[in-house]
Amino acid sequence: MTTPTSDVLIIGGGVAGLTLALEIADHLSVTLVRPAQDDHGASRWAQGGIAAVLSPDDDLETHINDTLIAGDGLCETEAVRFTVTHGPAAIQWLIDKGVPFTPETDPAARYPYHLTREGGHNARRIIHADDATGRAVVDTLLNNVAQHPNITQRNDLTIVGLLQDNQGACRGAYGCDAHLQWRSLTARYTVLATGGAVAFTAIPPLPRQAAAKA
């Protein structure tokens, strides 16, 4: 394999892709592919807020139980337990990154940010940034990504396929830019953070058109 463009190629710049990029970029070089005007991803449109056990009046087992009931048998219990247990630390990580969550104004409250209660939850545990939580999270994480020297953003590409070497391992991805020119991005590791649905084709080995220089 020729020298990869980066250690890790992340396809998708919603909250999942942005978070992963920031988590690994101190140790690995990252290329992050996301459209410049990203109105198609879900993250920017999330409004209500994020559920986590934050108030001292709430507890993890109640949140797990509420989630399993709302899931009506569709949830993997261990996945729910993992997510709920890591929720408070994940919210603190977002706060540390600068997400402007709405502060609590009630001096009697026992948590500094305002928590709402939504359907299925037996406690107030939804932290939010007014009614545009997703936009606040994405904008804040994007600012952090822009300032990180080890993250290269490619806002000009739509990825259409994965690159595969002769052993069948994924070695990056290829796509086309606004001028319909094919570009390839090679990497040691490739992460699909493209949201709910993806329809890529893996093409062995590097296709001739994708061999155009990145």
Ligand X SMILES: Cc1cc2nc3c(=O)[nH]c(=O)nc-3n(C[C@H](O)[C@H](O)[C@H](O)COP(=O)(O)OP(=O)(O)OC[C@H]3O[C@@H](n4cnc5c(N)ncnc54)[C@H](O)[C@@H]3O)c2cc1C
Point out which residues bind ligand X (CB under 6 A). 11-17, 33-35, 38, 40-43, 45-50, 134, 158-159, 193-195
Name which of 157 and 166 has its Cβ closer to ligand X.
Answer: 157
Alpha carbon separation from 102 to 49, 111, 204 (Å, rounded): 10, 12, 49
Name which of 15 and 84 has its Cβ closer to ligand X.
Answer: 15
Shortest separation between residue 201's beta carbon and ligand X, angstroms: 11
Name which of 44 and 188 has its Cβ closer to ligand X.
Answer: 44
Shortest separation between residue 193's beta carbon and ligand X, angstroms: 5
Name which of 45 and 82 has its Cβ closer to ligand X.
Answer: 45
Two tokens, residue 24 = 């690994």
Shortest separation between residue 33's beta carbon and ligand X, angstroms: 5
Ranked by CB distance to ligand X, the top (closest) residue is 14
Shortest separation between residue 69's beta carbon and ligand X, angstroms: 17
Spatial CB neighbours of 196, under 8 Å, sequence gap ≥ 6 = 42
- Cβ pair 69, 121 in contact under 8 A: no
Q: Which residue spans within 34-109 are E strands per DSSP? A: 50-51
- Cβ pair 31, 190 in contact under 8 A: no
Shortest separation between residue 73's beta carbon and ligand X, angstroms: 20
Name which of 3 and 181 has its Cβ closer to ligand X.
Answer: 181
Length of the chain: 214
Question: Taking the C-alpha atoms of 192, 198, 202 and 207 in order, what is their torsion angle to the nearest 10 degrees?
Answer: -90
